[in-house]
Structure formats: structure tokens, C-alpha cells
Amino acid sequence: MPRSLPLLPAALLSALSFVAVPPGAAAGEGQPDRAHVWVADDGTRVRREDVGLPLSRGEGNALFRPGEPIRLGALRGEVVAFQVIVEAGAEPVRGVTVDVSGLGPAAGAGTPARPAAPAKEPAAPAQQPQAQATGEPPAQAIRIDRFVEHYVEIKLRSRNERRPMESLGWSPAARPPDDRHLGFLPDALIPVELAPPWAPYPLEVGAREARAVWIDLHVPEGAAPGVHEGKVVVGSASHGALASLDLRLDVAPATLPYSAVDFIAFYEASEVAERVGDGPAVEQQLWQLLHEHHVDGFASVRSPAEVERLRAAIDGSLYTEARGYRGPGAGVPPAAVALGAYGGFGDPGEETLRRVEAVAELLPPAVDDVMLYAVDEQCESPRGPGWRRLVRGSRLSSRILVGHSCGEVDPVKQDVDLVLTPANRFDSVWARAAREAGKRLWVYNGALPRAGTFMIDAPLTGLMADGWIAASHEVGRWFLWETAFWHDGNRGGKGPVDPFTVAENFHNQDGDACLGDGMLLYPGTQRGKFASRSLGFAGVLPSMRLKSLRRGIQDAGYIALARSASPDAADAIVKEVIPAALDEARDTSPAAWSSEGAPFFRGRAALRALIPAGASLDPAGVRRVLADAAVARRALVPLAGAQGSSAGRDGRDGRPADGPGPAEPGPLGRWRRTGLLLAVAALGAAAVALALALYRRGRRGRGAERR
């Protein structure tokens, strides 16, 4: 590491501080003297201490301008979300309520107005949309769900103990900045009906602090097209009425495909049972909640009894009105089932094969992929090849795919049917060759700058970007290794945590510490030593990161619909929003997509404008359109070539050892470059002097922090 420089000029330090701290973040700057209400999109995370941000004045805010209506667009079958932020001035604001009412078709739009039930009477909390509450809105009305955003304090970032600037979620160059990810960050979403004293509703907003309510608008497939109008009304016990904001939702006459790209998410059933409870209602609610967010639960079955326990989830009958489900993807079964996830069946053997066959033959035929998960992240293990040889002689050989996870070896050279590779090691050339050889390839997890990351201390747009990436690259299914990792049970783990108070939930023997890794869900009930943070709800709650992932998956549906009508225009929009990802990106660069939600919001609106009236696509049509999109992407965006040690690149297949970098950003991203140029100009001669000093005095330390 370069030696530190003594006594930098005060002017240079001042200039650097100006560049590092966002406008309004300095103490006292831009902070309101009185209560203030504003609206943020669903790709923006506002910390508890973030008062007086430019976004709160409408600057760079795609959704909110003071004095103007909140304007949203949607397709039929979509959920759109926004956040209502309440800031206190010099005095606390007590008893804050946020209501949405009267959301129905405007006069002359679509069918006669059919008002939705007000937000005070939503579906039963955290089981939305599988509610059986009284006073339900009509079937084709827009349903409204509200959540209190719960904050957790971040004092230390996700990191590796030996290389603190990198983590399992990012390379050093792509590390999200501290000035936006330390402090009190919101993530858990608690239905307002369940809000406890430690995350109350009505809200209690401390002086010079912000609090927020997350709002989901569920647009049914039968919703009337056209503009729907309503009001967002914010009041308080201490200050009376705070705001009344017009809300306009423009519903396009087209239907969003359900789960246009496949995300499958594992959960450890025994750990959920230990923390929340072991009743079947808890597990079924978990499956329904994931399904509502366009994510498949990834069942791990090892016995006929486990198949029977999960049959309704596996055959799709759990996602019907008869089982209390009223969300998207009614009756759609999960895409894949694991036979013994993470090597659950152990070593191959004839007796064990009989057990595998007994389980596999009970699985519903509607499930596309039945994967015998031989072993996890052990490329040299003989289990995968051994199981493959056994299964080839089985009466169910055409039904069972033998797979394992391995990112270091060419999939063509791996003697299994299905290879799971980390998203940050995905190789387009390898993937194409594997498919041509008849193998299946999926990706899992993700790390910046190549894909989004689970981590709480990262922008929400990372998981949103994953949906766009899946729609424009040949990644197969996208596997999420865990969703309820509250127990920190790895080798090197430190034991169970209360996720409502501790964000650092993952440790391993390699010195990695992660915030929110494998944790997209929060426990509705906590038993044992964490009972004081229990909500008394027999189920699990969503996170803002799960909502962000849903947004990206829905955007993939937008891409498919838009591309089926205007392929070139749709491809250009995707390239604009996601200039580089996977093996197009360099580990030595930041993520190429924006850390703010506005560019995604604008890109989504541009795609919506391309979708013809009445458009819809069945699953086969979606697959066909997105397969073509992946082919077109290769012609539009160059691969990056060698990426550094974490990618394991070697310039094979004629690819240069150091290929071109990410595509140039378009208008949506040029603000970054403009800001950088302004900062360089402000630094002036002092920056030049610093560069010269670094060159003379720190040459020998370059690259010391690389893995």
C-alpha cells in the first residue's frame, strides 16, 4: 500500500470533501426548519439521517416535483411501488399517518370509476395478496399495501478482514461509497397493521430525521386502462395535516408476463421453523410471498414425506384463490425442484439411488427441472460425475438432471448435466459452448460490478439490475443461495442474529463478513432469545431488496413486450440502462448502471411507450424474445476480455488478454462524467500535485490490495 502523504494542503482537503459528500449531507445544510413530505421511487434508499436531500426538492427525482402530482405508469398484472418520506425539522413529528384513497379510473378513462378500498383496509398484513380480510376491494380494483420501513444501524461495511475494501458483494473498485451506506439504513418492511413499538405506526419522526412508508399498488390483470386518480394524504397527531398529494397512475392496455426471467430462491426449512415456528402455514406463506414477488421457492426434497408436505407449493395449487392467494402467477408451479440441495443425498450409491428415484417419481410433471444437487462449490469432488453415471442407468434418467456449483472450470469439461456458476464468473463463450454440448447452465448470487449483490450496504438498483441482466444475457435460471439466513451457520459463522437490530449476518472461514447476505426475508415471529423483537405474525416479511428484485423481474417482462414490437429500440434502451454487466464489465471499474432509481424509472417508461395496446406474451413467447435479445446483446456490447484474478480470465478462444471496457454511457449516465469533470476542474493544480506525489512516493505499493 502507498505510504501516506504528510500534511496535504488545506485547500485540497476541502475540495476532496466537497466531492465526497453529496449536496445536503453536510451538517445543517439543506435541513428543513419544519416538517416536510416528499416521494421517492422504489430504487432509492433514504437513510434516517437523510434530511434536506436534493431529491426532497424534486431535483433529479423522477417521481416527485413540489406542487405536481405523483405520476406512475403500470401494465396490467404489475405491482408498482413508491415511498412517502416524512422529514422533521427542529421539532419531532408525532403520530404520522400515510393514507392512499380514492384510487380509481378518472372520469372518461376505461370503464366507469370503481374506487379502490382505502389503504386503511388493506389485505391481511404480510400475506398479501392471500388475504381474507373483511371489506375487500372489488376483484379488478387496485389494491394498496403499506409498510413501515425499519432501520438498522450500519457501523461497519461488508468486507474481507484481510482485504477490507472488497467483499463477497463487490470488488474494491465497485465498492459502494461509505457516505451513502453508513448510518441507519431501511430494509425490513413491516405491514402497518403489525408495526411494533420499536418500529411504530403511526410514525414517530425525531427532530432532523426522516421516516418512510413503502406503498405497493397491485394492478390486477382486469384493471381498467387509462389514468387512475387518487390522493396520498399525510397527517400527524402533533402538527395536523402535513400534505395532500395527487396520485395519477396510468394503466396501459397490455398485460405483464409473470416471471419473465427465472429467479429461484432457497430457504432452510429447519432454520425457519426454529425461529418462526414449524406450522405448515408459515412455510406456505413464505412460498406465497416469494411467488407474489415473481420468485420461485427452491424446494429441497429428500423423502416422499417432504414431497407431500410441499406438494401444493410444487404443483402450483398453493397460488390459487382457493388457498387464499390473489396475486400474479395464479396456479403457476415453480420452475425447478432440488433433490437434496447442497449435496443432501451425500455420496452416490445404488441404495441411495433408489431413494432418489422414489422422491423424483412423486414430483408433479409440471416442474421443468428436477435437479439432483450433488455438491456445492467443490469442483474437484467426484460426487457430480459419480451421480451422473448412476442416474444414466436409472429408469428416471430422462427426468433427473445431475448438477453442482462450480465457477472455476469450463462447464463443457464438467461431467454433470447442469452447472451453477457464480454470476461474477459468468463467461459468455463458456456458456454458449456448454449449451451447444447439451449442458444446462445457471448463474447464482452476484457481485458488483458484474451483477447486483444481496448486501444491505449497497444500492437497491443492484438487484433491480439483475432482472435486466437476466433478460439480456443467456444466464439460464438465477439461483439465490438463501433468503432467511438469520443463523450465521457457516463454518466460521458466529451464530444466530436478530436481523431487526444486526445487519452483519454472515461470516466464513475466509474472513468474509457480510451485511444481509442470503437474507431477503425477515421473521414475523422470533422465538427464544430474540422474542423481544417478535411481531407475533406466523410468517415472514419482505425486505426492500426483495421488492427491488421484483421490480427488475417485472422490468424483464417490459423488455420482452417492448422487444417483440420494436427490437432495436428496446435493445438500445437496455444498453442505455445497463451499459455493461457480467463478462462485459471490468472488476477494476465501478458498476456501469446507476446507483439511483431515476434512470431505471425513465428506461422503464421508454420501454412502456414501445408496448402496443393489447400486448401479451405466453411463457414460450417470452423465452423466444429474450433468447433473441441475448444474441443481439453480443453484437451491441463488447466483452471486456481479461478481468483480473477474481474472474479467472486467460484470454482464451482468441479473446484478447485485455479487451475493451464497458460501453460508453448514454444520456442517462452522462451526469457521472459531467460531475467528475467538474470535480477535476475544481481540484485544479492541487490534484495534479497530488498525482505527481503519488507517482513518486507510492509506486511500489500499487496493486497490493488485489485478491
Residues 56-99: pLDDT tens digits? Answer: 999 999 999 999 999 999 999 999 999 999 999 999 999 999 99
Residue 75: CB partners within 8 Å, gap ≥ 6? 219, 251, 252, 254, 255, 256, 557, 558, 561, 608, 611
Place of cell 482468441: 654
What was the pLDDT predicted at 108? 60
pLDDT (0 to 100) of residue 107: 73
Q: Among positive and negative, which fits the CA dihedral 485, 489, 492, 496?
A: positive
Q: How far apart are CA 433 and CA 439, in angstroms?
A: 9
Distance CA 134, CA 363 (A): 36
Alpha helices by DSSP H, 637-701: 670-683, 685-698
Residues 6 or more apart from 161 whose CB is under 8 A from it? 511, 512, 513
Question: Do residues 234 and 201 make contact, with C-beta atoms less than 8 angstroms apart?
Answer: no
Which of 184, 101, 186 minimizes the C-alpha distance to 148? 186
Query: What's the confidence (pLDDT) of residue 33?
Result: 74
pLDDT of residue 386: 98
CA pair distance 455, 448, nearest whole angstrom: 10
Task: Check residue 374 and give its pLDDT.
Answer: 98
The answer to whether residues 249 and 75 touch, using CB atoms and an 8 Å cutoff, is no
Only one residue has cell 423466444, namely 624
Q: Residue 31 has what pLDDT?
A: 56
> What pLDDT does residue 286 have?
98
pLDDT for 279 equals: 85
Query: Going edge to edge, which strands form the sheet with 183-191?
Result: 36-41, 79-87, 210-218, 143-154, 183-191
Q: Among 217, 168, 228, which Cα is nearest to 490's? A: 168
Task: Provide the grid cell at 107.
Answer: 372520469
* Edge-to-edge strand ranges of the sheet holding 512-515: 159-160, 512-515, 504-507
Q: How far is CA 141 from CA 75, 107, 111, 436, 551, in A?
A: 14, 15, 11, 47, 21
pLDDT tens track for 161-175: 999 999 999 999 999
pLDDT tens column, 243-269:
999 999 999 999 999 999 999 999 999
Phi, psi for residue 77 in degrees, rounded to 5: 85, 15
Q: How far is CA 191 from each of CA 196, 201, 294, rounded to the nearest angstrom?
A: 10, 9, 20
Helix pair 383-392, 350-360: axis angle to 10 deg: 70
Distances (CA, A) of 77 to 87, 114, 125, 158, 297: 33, 17, 20, 36, 20
Please list the rounded mean pLDDT of every run of 10 residues in the chain (707 residues). Answer: 31 32 39 86 97 96 96 98 98 98 77 40 40 50 96 98 96 97 98 98 98 98 96 98 98 98 97 92 97 96 97 97 95 96 97 97 94 96 98 96 96 97 96 95 97 98 98 97 96 96 97 98 96 96 98 98 98 98 97 98 98 97 98 95 40 30 36 39 41 35 27
Whether 487 and 496 have beta carbons less than 8 Å apart is answered as yes
Write out the DSSP string of 599-627: HHHHHHHHHHHHSPTT----HHHHHHHHH
The residues, ordered by sequence, that sit 6+ positions from 141 with a Cβ below 8 Å of its Cβ are 104, 114, 115, 116, 117, 220, 223
Distance CA 176, CA 160 (A): 15
Distance from C-alpha of 212 to C-alpha of 234, rounded to nearest angstrom = 11
Q: What are phi and psi of 249, to 5 degrees?
A: -115, 115
Judge contact between 704 and 9, C-beta under 8 A. Answer: no
CA-only gyration radius of the chain, Å = 25
Phi, psi for 84 (deg, rounded to 5): -100, 115
